């Protein structure tokens, strides 16, 4: 499951969130804008194998990293 780490631009709070597709994530504390941090496990390790033989990007063009028949 795609659990991402985020950090808030406003109050610097860090949190993890389960994200599906193009869900918009905002800070749970202040509602400000957040940036995804790619430091975590799931996405990186899963994408590693695909990157070498794939298009060079993680996932395929129609993929939102959750359930894609082409790359998962």
**Binding residue for Zn ion, selected from 3, 10, 20, 38, defined by CB under 5 A:** 10
**Would you say 6 and 17 are in contact if contact means Cβ atoms under 8 Å apart?**
yes
The C-alpha atoms of residue 48 and residue 36 are separated, in whole angstroms, by 18
Site string for Zn ion, 12-51 (x = CB under 5 A): ---------------x-xx-x-------------------
Considering the rule CB under 5 A, would residue 11 count as an interface residue with Zn ion? yes
* Dihedral (Cα; 16, 61, 50, 26), 10-degree rounding: -10
Q: Which residues bind Zn ion (CB under 5 A)?
A: 8, 10-11, 27, 29-30, 32
């Amino acid at each position: 499951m795609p659990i991402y780490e985020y950090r808030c631009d406003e109050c610097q709070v860090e949190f993890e969130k389960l994200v599906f597709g193009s869900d918009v994530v905002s800070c749970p504390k202040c509602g400000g804008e957040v940036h995804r941090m790619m430091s975590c496990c799931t996405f990186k390790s899963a994408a590693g194998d695909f990157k070498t033989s794939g298009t060079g990007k993680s996932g395929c063009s129609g993929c939102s990293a959750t359930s894609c028949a082409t790359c998962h």
